[in-house]
Amino acid sequence: MNAINQSGWKPEMVGEGRHDVKTYTGNKALMLEEPLIFEIGNNSTTGVDLAVSPKVISRLGNLERHRDIALPGLSEPEAVRHYTRLSRQNYAIDLGFFPLGSCTMKHNPRLNEKVARMAGFADVHPMQPIETVQGALAVINELAVWLIELTGMHGVAMTPKAGAHGELCGILCIKAALEARGDKRSVILVPESAHGTNPATAAFAGFSVENIPATSEGRVDLAALKSRLGPDVAGVMITNPNTCGLFERDMKAISDAVHAAGGYVYCDGANFNAIVGRVRPGDLGIDAMHINLHKTFSTPHGGGGPGSGPVVLSEALSPFGPLPFTERHADGHFSLVEEETAGERHPHSFGRMTAFHGQMGMFTRALSYIMSHGADGLRQVAEDAVLNANYILRSLEDVLDAPFAHSGPCMHEALFSDDGMAEGFSTLDIAKGLIDEGYHPMTVYFPLVVHGAMLVEPTETESKATLDQFIGALRSVAERAKAGDPLLKSAPHHAPRRRLDETQAARKPILVWREPEQAVAAE
Amino acid sequence: MRYLPLTQTDRQAMLGFIGAKSIDDLFVDVPAEAQLDGPIHGLPNHASEMAVERHFSNLARQNMSASHHPFFLGCGAYKHHVPASVDHIIQRGEFLTAYTPYQPEIAQGTLQMLFEFQTQVARLFGCDVANASMYDGSTACWEAIGMAGRITKRTKAVLSSGLHPHYVSVAKTMAKYTGDTLDTAFPELSAETDSARLLAAIDGETSCVVVQYPDILGRIEDLSAIAAKAHEHSALLIAVVTEPVALGAIKAPGEMGADIVVGEGQSIGVGLQFGGPYVGLFACKEKFVRQMPGRLCGETVDAEGKRGFVLTLSTREQHIRREKATSNICTNSGLCALAFSVHMTLLGEKGLRGLASLNHALAVRAADRLTQIPGVELINDSFFNEFTLRLPKEARPVVRALADRKILGGVSLGRLYPGVNALENGLVVAVTEVATAEDIEAFAAALQEILA
Amino acid sequence: MSRYYTEDHEWIDVDGETATVGITDYAQSQLGDIVFAEVPATGATLKKGGDAAVVESVKAASDVYAPVSGVVTEGNDALEGDPALVNSDPEGEGWFFKLTLSDTSELDTLMDAAAYKAFVDGL
């Protein structure tokens, strides 16, 4: 029964095609169109009040700006409304389920935002005297200790700014370690299921990249890997749990074989959320692994960054880690090892990767999250994440092809393919159909080893009720794709925009706003 | 546990549905010897919101914050007043908890914001196009050097001695592995930059010249002659801007012929945060757009012909090009780009010009006042909101003594250039709109006392 | 003049020592809407099987390989402004580059139209 209608008036749907009702504004009630700031602002409006400048004789070296920059301003109410309206055209974790595989879109606790904004962290300059930033260094150090303990590793490089930057850090450590022993190995082996950043990073560091095949079970082919090892192989980059959502059972054997052949093992830690508190990568022979604080440790993704990618290191690679880093002394005070003292404290460092000390604002958030969960809670995080993913896998394997489901449980994400769709229907249509159902789609077309891949990562911060509703929705959309429902082909129908023309965007790129042609002057 | 919605009943029901006896059945692929049998020993268990907050409050109190003390540090990170609405907007969940806009139909908010951001950055820098942001200024600087190498197919980069030494360090780290050679030098405590050295070094092998504007000592110089010489040899000029507020007062590098302009966007909308996260700005001439690193947002139309925005030219990126990508970067600094863009929209042309003018005026006042102290000399002929003083003694202990007096009084060149004796008396002082007349007076009085 | 094909879906029209190279209709149909093409510079020396050009659709970038060795005499500049030519007329106006062959015997390893059709049918 519907909710009680207190007005006494009985609402009725009159007629069909109500979506075609045109409005004067183009708005649809709460779905509001918003122009660009360049179309509503102007050069003489501002949303800030400034103190009056004292009169001085300019010392700008005769380089005063004369030309307008052409930066439109808005008053504060206009600006707040502009961005609030834009925000409502975004899907977000706060709004609903966001099962984007390998991205770990979990709830972002607001406590973390609060502590990061404390003036003692948010309003501290990176070059202040060390004596004035002891609390900030303590945060970095505490988080470092947690990361080392949770991974069972020897050291950690805190400065990398994101996952890919962390990968680069790990690969540069490997390169530096090889150079230190005068070894000219030049090949990095990467499984074909790897995230694209892996080969890009290895190539950037001057290595040549070779693929290793996967088995029919979706795991690294150990025999193929072993047969390729040799004196030219610097190391391997392996994601574990891998991008198919499976644990690499042979990880220890892979590490042992690579070490025996004189190479190093880099582990992409993007999927650490599946095993945190249950498995320590250090016990599997890993030499370096980046940790995406914005995935496992819930710092917000912010529409694409900022991230943070600390790298835990084995004893063999720790001496080569980047500058600067914090050091805790016996008396409890902290110092920062920078270029000045690196000669005596850390002589083999490969150098500096970024201007300052890493993503401090992400460190406070991640540490706040880690302390909130504690050792017991983090273990529960992994267990619930894995439980949720298996629940989805087993709930949908009858309607969607799940290529690796026969080989056992998945870890924190469930992988499906587009096998069995009607002619002309693909993964993309399923994704767009889910948008109409009120979900952010799963990761699509990745990993590349599965045709039309759909990678569903529910994370641990979703309730059973949410999962059940999503399972129902995905089942419904999948059945429409199998039946060849033409309305699915043109989905989404209810989003702020229909499918966008990416071909036009790429053929004639328009990357900045330009004033419309001045042809109107003649009118 | 407050972040975990599953109840024990849910877990049992779900395990039953899956056909697993216990959660351990789902971890069967992990070899037994690698499994931990319980929470890791020696680490604390979960904590209440109140307990965590208290812990952080205690640590925060151990730091001297810029908002509570007279503050004059710069050198790549600046303290400006950020309007309250900026922080409000970036905390809206639809921005804060969104992901990279891979599904454009439900990410137009982020995409339109990025398109506006790209336009603001391009205009500010005097360039045709800009990308959707990089990690920070130092990594943007290195990416620009790498891009110049791809365009010119040459490997020699000439770096101005006025480039932030940490940016130089980052470039040196990367160059070691890419085979680029960097021609570098230390600055001198002089009003003269090393443009003569740069002009002499540019030749047919040069890929790019990298000049910071204003430079690490706060000096400002016309880049036109360097641009002309670089172009004569088919090399590129890369300008680096670590204090974008300056461009409200002085000419844009693009106007003077820079081919690529990169910068640190922290000073607009983003807090100091002890060094990060910040936001790298990256702009260039249109003809180089396919060699650019990072994400790009472009305008297009949807199936109904409505204007919309998408990530575009993504074939340059790692997820498609893999080992042939222009860069290995995956995330950018989206939320910081939003903060930059909101602050810039609130300022507008008028506000940015006014802010720049106020910064410059206060810096001139402060420079005049500080140079009244016996033995203190101003190095700069020109500056924006940051200048370098030559003290009669080593600056590092002076900075510490100022901190003891609760004044955060600049960055000593000894900290930035350890072991370079010729620079050890140098103190770089930044003065922004947050410095009051009383702050400047307190700084001057304390400095005078320490130097006496 | 005779036309040959490669297993990487390039076609090559040979007229004595000179030749024109492009990608096949099958290749363009697999790539989808082409948004960008980069052709080699005049004077570039190409080695059989080496990278010669790049072709990009919205979601994929592919290398075009040199079917035979030679020196580039002309790149198709029209593709820069109108990459859609590769879709609309792949084996005509959408050509990529012309070159002078350095070893005509390399042509012996390529397929003729019938062999290529059989090859594509088998995919």
- List the strands of the sheet with A155-157, edge to edge: A155-157, A311-313, A288-290, A264-268, A233-239, A187-191, A208-212
Do residue B415 and residue B338 come from a single domain? Answer: no
Write down which residue in B343, B360, B379 finishes a domain: B343
Q: Which helix (H) or strand (E) holds A327?
A: strand A325-328
Binned at pLDDT 50, 70 and 90, residue B436 comes out as very high
Domain carrying residue B392: 66-81+348-451
CB contact under 8 A, B320 and C36: no
Do residue A294 and residue A344 come from a single domain? Answer: yes
Contact by Cβ (8 Å): B429, B388: yes
Instruction: State how far the alpha carbon of A212 is from the alpha carbons of A225, A238, B18, B46, B323, in Å.
Output: 6, 10, 32, 41, 15
Taking CA–CA distances from B311, the nearest residue in chain C reads C58
Do residue B269 and residue B164 come from a single domain? Answer: yes
Which chains are within 8 Å of C by 3+ CB pairs? A, B
Contact status of B120 with chain A (Cβ, < 8 Å)? yes
**Distance in angstroms (rounded) separating the CA atoms of residues C19 and C66:** 11
CB contact under 8 A, C60 and B315: yes
Which chains are within 8 Å of A by 3+ CB pairs? B, C
How wide is the angle at C-alpha A17 spanned by C-alphas A14 and A22, nearest 5°? 100
Contact by Cβ (8 Å): B261, B254: yes
Do residue B396 and residue B409 come from a single domain? Answer: yes
Tens of pLDDT along A259-268?
Answer: 999 999 999 9
SS3 content of chain A, % helix, strand, coil (to 5): 40, 10, 50
Binned at pLDDT 50, 70 and 90, residue A2 comes out as very low
CB contact under 8 A, A126 and B274: yes
Mean pLDDT, chain A, whole residue set: 93
Contact status of B186 with chain A (Cβ, < 8 Å)? no
Distance of CA C75 to the CA centre of its chain: 11
Tens of pLDDT along A162-172?
Answer: 999 999 999 99
What pLDDT is recorded for position A320?
97
Write down which residue in B327, B343, B359 finishes a domain: B343
What pLDDT is recorded for position A519?
41
pLDDT > 90 in chain C, percent: 65
**Distance in angstroms (rounded) separating the CA atoms of residues A168 and A165:** 5
Do residue B335 and residue B428 come from a single domain? Answer: no
Contact status of A515 with chain B (Cβ, < 8 Å)? no
Q: Which residues pair with C64 in a beta bridge?
A: C53
Contact status of B224 with chain C (Cβ, < 8 Å)? no
Taking CA–CA distances from C33, the nearest residue in chain A reads A503
What's the structural domain count of chain B? 2
**Distance in angstroms (rounded) separating the CA atoms of residues C11 and B203:** 42
In-domain check, residue B43:
no
Selected for mutation to probe chain C from A446, A507, A508, A510 (highest C CB count within 10 Å) is: A507
Instruction: Answer whether residue B323 shows pLDDT above 80.
Output: no
CB contact under 8 A, C60 and B324: no
- Listed in sequence order, the DSSP H helices in A88-162 are 110-116, 119-122, 134-151
What pLDDT is recorded for position B320?
62
In-domain check, residue B363:
yes
Tens of pLDDT along B242-288?
Answer: 999 999 999 999 999 999 999 999 999 999 999 999 999 999 999 99
**Distance in angstroms (rounded) separating the CA atoms of residues B281 and B269:** 13
Do residue B186 and residue B319 come from a single domain? Answer: yes
Nearest to C83 among A445, A502, A507 (CB): A507
Binned at pLDDT 50, 70 and 90, residue A1 comes out as very low
Do residue A184 and residue A255 come from a single domain? Answer: yes
Set out the domains of chain C in order of their start, with CATH numbers: 2-103 (2.40.50.100)
Average pLDDT for residues B301-329, to the nearest whole number? 80
Contact status of C56 with chain B (Cβ, < 8 Å)? yes
Of B12 and A218, the one with more pLDDT = B12
**Distance in angstroms (rounded) separating the CA atoms of residues C40 and A106:** 47
Tens of pLDDT along B22-32?
Answer: 999 999 999 99
What pLDDT is recorded for position B263?
97
Nearest to B97 among A83, A301, A368 (CB): A301
**Distance in angstroms (rounded) separating the CA atoms of residues A48 and A45:** 9
Selected for mutation to probe chain B from A44, A159, A246, A511 (highest B CB count within 10 Å) is: A511
Which residue is listed with tokens 């610097």? Answer: A234
Which residues from chain B sit within 8 angstroms of residue A513, using beta carbons? 115-116, 119, 299
Q: Which residues pair with B239 in a beta bridge?
A: B211, B261
What's the structural domain count of chain A? 2
**Distance in angstroms (rounded) separating the CA atoms of residues B283 and A193:** 34
Chain B stretch 284-343, residues whose beta carbon is closer than 8 A to a beta carbon of chain C? 290, 314-315, 320-321, 324
Binned at pLDDT 50, 70 and 90, residue B315 comes out as confident
Taking CA–CA distances from B312, the nearest residue in chain C reads C58
Which residues from chain B sit within 8 angstroms of residue C61, using beta carbons? 315, 320-321, 324
Contact status of A13 with chain B (Cβ, < 8 Å)? no
Do residue B240 and residue B371 come from a single domain? Answer: no
Distance from CA of B352 to the nearest CA of A (A): 9
Do residue B193 and residue B212 come from a single domain? Answer: yes
CB contact under 8 A, B320 and C60: yes
Please tell me whether residue A520 adopts helix, strand or coil conformation.
Answer: helix
Which residues from chain B sit within 8 angstroms of residue A252, using beta carbons? 31, 33-34
**B and C: number of Cβ contacts within 8 A:** 16
Instruction: Answer whether residue A488 shows pLDDT above 60.
Output: yes
**Distance in angstroms (rounded) separating the CA atoms of residues A517 and A521:** 9
- Listed in sequence order, the DSSP H helices in A239-304 are 251-260
What pLDDT is recorded for position A194?
83
**B75-106 b/e with 16+ CB inside 10 Å = b?**
bbbbbbebbebbbebbebbbbbbbbbbbbbbb
Residue type, position A68, single letter: D
Distance from CA of C95 to the nearest CA of A (A): 18
**Distance in angstroms (rounded) separating the CA atoms of residues B252 and B352:** 14
- List the strands of the sheet with B260-264, edge to edge: B129-130, B280-284, B260-264, B236-241, B206-212, B156-159, B181-183
Instruction: Answer whether residue B368 shows pLDDT above 70.
Output: yes
Do residue B406 and residue B304 come from a single domain? Answer: no
Q: Any idea what the CATH number is for the domain that residue B277 is in?
A: 3.40.640.10
CB contact under 8 A, B118 and A446: no
Do residue B197 and residue B265 come from a single domain? Answer: yes
Tens of pLDDT along C2-27?
Answer: 899 999 999 999 998 899 999 999 99
Q: What is the 3-state secondary structure (H, E, C) of B366-402?
A: HHHHHCCCCCCEECCCCCCCEEEEECCCCHHHHHHHH
In-domain check, residue B10:
no
**A and B: number of Cβ contacts within 8 A:** 718
Question: Beta strand pairing status for B426-430 and B181-183?
Answer: unpaired
Nearest to B63 among A124, A206, A441 (CB): A124
Sign of torsion, CA A462 A464 A466 A470? positive
Q: Residue A471 has what DSSP assignment? A: H
Do residue A137 and residue A252 come from a single domain? Answer: yes
What pLDDT is recorded for position A497?
96
Do residue A397 and residue A500 come from a single domain? Answer: yes
Contact status of C51 with chain B (Cβ, < 8 Å)? no
What pLDDT is recorded for position C94?
94
In-domain check, residue B367:
yes
Tens of pLDDT along B33-85?
Answer: 999 999 999 999 999 999 999 999 999 999 999 999 999 999 999 999 999 99
Question: Beta strand pairing status for B129-130 and B280-284?
Answer: antiparallel
**Distance in angstroms (rounded) separating the CA atoms of residues B362 and B352:** 15
Average pLDDT for residues B289-301, to the nearest whole number? 94
In-domain check, residue B8:
no
Which residue is listed with tokens 């009003």? Answer: B191
Distance from CA of B179 to the nearest CA of C (A): 22
Instruction: Answer whether residue B222 shows pLDDT above 80.
Output: yes
Q: Any idea what the CATH number is for the domain that residue A457 is in?
A: 3.90.1150.10
CB contact under 8 A, A124 and B99: no
Average pLDDT for residues A467-483, to the nearest whole number? 98
Do residue B77 and residue B88 come from a single domain? Answer: no
Average pLDDT for residues A94-119, to the nearest whole number? 97
Instruction: Answer whether residue A87 shows pLDDT above 90.
Output: yes
In-domain check, residue B364:
yes
Q: Any idea what the CATH number is for the domain that residue A247 is in?
A: 3.40.640.10
Q: Which residues pair with C97 in a beta bridge?
A: C21, C75
Tens of pLDDT along B184-205?
Answer: 999 999 999 999 999 999 999 9
Do residue A292 and residue A424 come from a single domain? Answer: no
Which residue is listed with tokens 């995956």? Answer: B330
Nearest to C59 among B290, B320, B324 (CB): B320
Binned at pLDDT 50, 70 and 90, residue A515 comes out as confident
What pLDDT is recorded for position B448?
98
Gyration radius from chain B CA atoms: 25
In-domain check, residue A512:
no
Contact status of C44 with chain B (Cβ, < 8 Å)? no
In-domain check, residue B444:
yes
- List the strands of the sheet with C51-57, edge to edge: C34-38, C51-57, C61-65
Distance from CA of A154 to the nearest CA of B (A): 16
CB contact under 8 A, B99 and A98: yes
Contact status of C60 with chain B (Cβ, < 8 Å)? yes
In-domain check, residue A68:
no
Contact by Cβ (8 Å): A467, A458: yes
pLDDT > 70 in chain A, percent: 95
Which residues from chain A sit within 8 angstroms of residue B406, using beta carbons? none
Average pLDDT for residues A350-363, to the nearest whole number? 95
Which residues from chain A sit within 8 angstroms of residue B95, using beta carbons? 83, 87, 90, 92, 302-303
Average pLDDT for residues B157-161, to the nearest whole number? 98
Write down which residue in B301, B317, B343 finishes a domain: B343
What pLDDT is recorded for position A197?
85
Binned at pLDDT 50, 70 and 90, residue A16 comes out as low
Which residues from chain C sit within 8 angstroms of residue B320, using beta carbons? 59-61
**Distance in angstroms (rounded) separating the CA atoms of residues B217 and B382:** 10
Domain carrying residue A265: 112-367
Which residues from chain C sit within 8 angstroms of residue B321, using beta carbons? 61
Do residue A309 and residue A432 come from a single domain? Answer: no
CA proximity to A157, closest of A320, A285, A270: A320
What pLDDT is recorded for position A520?
46
In-domain check, residue A138:
yes
Q: Which helix (H) or strand (E) holds A433?
A: helix A427-436
CA proximity to B53, closest of A116, A138, A300, A294: A116
What pLDDT is recorded for position A6?
57
What pLDDT is recorded for position A340?
84
Distance from CA of A227 to the nearest CA of B (A): 23
CB contact under 8 A, A136 and B1: no
Taking CA–CA distances from C79, the nearest residue in chain A reads A507
Selected for mutation to probe chain A from B90, B150, B323 (highest A CB count within 10 Å) is: B323
What pLDDT is recorded for position B318?
64
Do residue B172 and residue B122 come from a single domain? Answer: yes
Q: Any idea what the CATH number is for the domain that residue B446 is in?
A: 3.90.1150.10
Distance from CA of C91 to the nearest CA of A (A): 20
Average pLDDT for residues B353-374, to the nearest whole number? 98
Instruction: Answer whether residue A214 shows pLDDT above 60.
Output: yes
Chain C residues bordering chain A (beta-carbon distance below 8 Å): 33, 35-36, 56, 58-59, 83-84
Do residue B365 and residue B271 come from a single domain? Answer: no
**Distance in angstroms (rounded) separating the CA atoms of residues B107 and B110:** 6
Which residues from chain A sit within 8 angstroms of residue B328, using beta carbons? 164, 167-168, 197, 200-201, 203-204
What pLDDT is recorded for position C60?
77
**Distance in angstroms (rounded) separating the CA atoms of residues C43 and C41:** 6
- Burial class from Cβ neighbours inside 10 Å (0-12, 13-18, 19+) for residue A24 reads exposed
Average pLDDT for residues A376-393, to the nearest whole number? 98
What pLDDT is recorded for position A19?
58
In-domain check, residue B24:
no
CA proximity to C6, closest of C73, C52, C58, C56: C52
Instruction: Answer whether residue C38 shows pLDDT above 70.
Output: yes
CB atoms within 10 A of CB C121: 8
Q: Residue C32 has what DSSP assignment? A: -
CA proximity to A362, closest of A304, A426, A292: A292
Instruction: State how far the alpha carbon of B175 is from the alpha carbons of B137, B149, B288, C72, in Å.
Output: 17, 11, 21, 33
**Distance in angstroms (rounded) separating the CA atoms of residues B385 and B366:** 10
Which residue is listed with tokens 């910068």? Answer: B263
Do residue A351 and residue A444 come from a single domain? Answer: no
Do residue A359 and residue A476 come from a single domain? Answer: no
- Listed in sequence order, the DSSP H helices in B233-389 are 318-321, 334-370
Contact status of A513 with chain B (Cβ, < 8 Å)? yes
Q: Residue A456 has what DSSP assignment? A: E
What pLDDT is recorded for position A38?
97
- List the strands of the sheet with C45-46, edge to edge: C2-5, C10-15, C18-23, C97-101, C70-75, C45-46
In-domain check, residue A60:
no
Instruction: Answer whether residue A523 shows pLDDT above 60.
Output: no
**Distance in angstroms (rounded) separating the CA atoms of residues B260 and B131:** 11
How wide is the angle at C-alpha B245 spanned by C-alphas B242 and B250, nearest 5°? 95
